[in-house]
Amino acid sequence: MANDAVFDILVIGSGAAGLTLALRAADHARIGVISKGSIDAGSTAWAQGGIAAVMSKTDSYDAHVEDTLNSGAGLCRIEAVRHTVENGPKAIGWLIDQGVAFDVTEDGPYHLTQEGGHSQRRVVHAADATGKAVQTSLDEKVRAHPNITLFEHHMAVDLVQEAEGSPVRGAYIYDIETTRVLAFSAKFVALATGGASRVYLYTSNPDGATGDGIAMAWRAGCRVANMEFNQFHPTCLYHREARTYLISEAVRGEGGELILEDGERFLDAFDDRAELAPRDIVARAIDFEMKRLGADCVYLDISHQDADFIQEHFPNIYETCRENGIDITQQPIPVVPAAHYTCGGVITDLKGRTDVDGLYVIGESASTGLHGANRMASNSLLECFVFADSAATDILAKLDDQADPIIIPDWDESRVSDSDEEVVVSHNWDELRRTMWSYVGIVRTDKRLARAKRRIDLLAEEIQDYYGNFRITPDLLELRNLVTVSDLIVRSALARKESRGLHYTLDYPELADESVDTILQPE
């Protein structure tokens, strides 16, 4: 029995949240950063639009707060919103110090764009690849820091506690190359594992967004909040061989029309603004038509515009579609809505602290109260930077008084064998994500949710049985977490007897008088 590694702080996840915490604390603590893929495999590197912060004289904290509260449909926590907004400029300043090259203008320092829900231009960006610019700069700093040890292709399996409900003292980490499970001991553990949008069949998120941190924290005794609020992007490329790729809403803004397979337009039947209706209305209309017709996708057609105009305005979309055999100057683009952002998560306070001592959760895995029932565009990256900084400050203040790391018992593999039927895992992955897509997606009913619950209960039982008997693999670990998160989403959705923000149910189409969080507590 010996620890494989010992740290002051073990950070699980290497996106915006995890790397910020690591760098903010690294001058004063020994830090281990774990990533189940390569360092840049999370959603951060995919972010296109930018980061919201009050950066111009015409803008104000009050305006940013008010816009965020409006998007959140009555469920934002005002202290969390203020904390995020008021620390926004400082977070951007820190990123600039790390070398992130945001777009600048001739007359003002930074170029700001305006996005849905924002009443002002306040989104700083690096062209249309902001996430990549942030991730690349932070990667370099992390790799260069002598106090940070990076473990890529290492996957956290579970948190370690000496007894149920007691402080978190480390984590079991699966080394994907050697297939050994390692014991990492630490004074503090921070989960920064991103969202859970891969519970759905179609998603804009990269492969690893399987809600691992949410499931691990739940198993360790943390409450979760508002898991029913999942944001769907209305138009992602639908192509059997391509990973899901966002088709920007600007295509509709420039005259793109949504049509069915027979060429008929349909959005004007749902909203007078047709193609220019807000994101959630467009997503709902597409979902309705796909379900009504049993169609695999609908189509977004901009081919009536001049070919030069299309190529000039949408060079990346043009190129990506062309690589997949679609010439958007000549033919419509097959699209589906796709799960994009997990608004709910593990409940934390303003310092990222959870219900369990020693455990912090930051970034998309957390429910800080910032997003409420609907995330406002470009607030999510800001939340990562602000809460990672707050968590680092809190941890450093307590570091000397925290109990020393413990010796963690070795991972016990004595009662498991190699799987004889890998197909069980792949089948259940597929079934789970289809079930979530069909019954727990954009438009819900109690009947659909109950149908999903029955299937998820059965899958959970089967997966738990499999987990108990066979040696673990990354796919099995992700599936186990996905089924936990799916269960949390369905239970939260069943508990909400109204339509609010991103949760829309045909059984309760109205907004309730009182706005109440959905909070689930582990038994």
Q: How far is the CB of 516 from ligand FAD (least distance, A)?
A: 25
Q: Is 374 in the site for ligand FAD (CB under 6 A)?
A: no
Q: Is 126 in the site for ligand FAD (CB under 6 A)?
A: no
Alpha-carbon distance values, 311 to 1, 87, 245, 247, 329 (Å)? 61, 39, 17, 14, 8
Q: Is 35 in the site for ligand FAD (CB under 6 A)?
A: yes
For ligand FAD, the binding residue among 384, 432, 442, 479 (CB under 6 A) is: 384
Q: Is 234 in the site for ligand FAD (CB under 6 A)?
A: no
Q: Which residues contact 407 (CB under 8 A, 6 or more apart)?
A: 1, 2, 3, 185
Binding mask 146-165 for ligand FAD (x = CB under 6 A): ---------xx---------
- 480 counts as catalytic: no
Query: How many beta carbons lie within 10 A of that of residue 467, not counting itself?
Result: 14
Cα-only R_g, the chain: 23
Q: Is 88 in the site for ligand FAD (CB under 6 A)?
A: no
DSSP string, 444-464: B-HHHHHHHHHHHHHHHHHHH
Q: Is 348 in the site for ligand FAD (CB under 6 A)?
A: no
Q: Is 194 in the site for ligand FAD (CB under 6 A)?
A: yes
Residue 138 vs 449, nearer CB to ligand FAD: 138
Q: Is 367 in the site for ligand FAD (CB under 6 A)?
A: no
How many amino acids of this chain bind ligand FAD (CB under 6 A)?
A: 41
For ligand FAD, the binding residue among 9, 23, 29, 46 (CB under 6 A) is: 46
- In contact, 91 and 385? CB cutoff 8 Å: yes
Alpha-carbon distance values, 400 to 188, 214, 349, 479 (Å)? 12, 28, 22, 38
342 SS3 class: strand
6 SS3 class: strand
| Region near ligand FAD per CB under 6 A, out of 72-80, 189-197, 329-337, 446-454 | 189-197
Q: How far is the CB of 503 from ligand FAD (least distance, A)?
A: 19
Alpha-carbon distance values, 278 to 130, 300, 330 (Å)? 23, 16, 27
Q: How many CA atoms lie within 13 A of 364 on its CB side?
A: 29
78 SS3 class: helix
Q: Is 354 in the site for ligand FAD (CB under 6 A)?
A: no
Taking the CA atoms of 13, 180, 487 and 206 in sequence, report the sign of the dihedral they define.
Answer: positive
Q: How far is the CB of 131 from ligand FAD (least distance, A)?
A: 5
| Active-site hit among 77, 169, 252, 279 | 279
Q: How far is the CB of 35 from ligand FAD (least distance, A)?
A: 4
Residues 409-438 that bind ligand FAD (CB under 6 A): none
For ligand FAD, the binding residue among 17, 225, 310, 361 (CB under 6 A) is: 17
For ligand FAD, the binding residue among 11, 14, 54, 169 (CB under 6 A) is: 14
Residues 244-303 that bind ligand FAD (CB under 6 A): 246
For ligand FAD, the binding residue among 16, 267, 350, 395 (CB under 6 A) is: 16
DSSP string, 25-58: HTTTS-EEEEESSSTT-SGGGG--S-EE---STT
Phi/psi for 34 (5° steps) reads -110, 135
Nearest 5°: CA angle at 422, between 419 and 426? Answer: 145
Contacting residues toward ligand FAD, per CB under 6 A = 12-18, 34-37, 41-44, 46-51, 130-131, 155-156, 192-194, 204-205, 208-209, 212, 246, 341, 363-364, 378, 380-381, 384
Q: So which residues are the catalytic ones?
A: 279
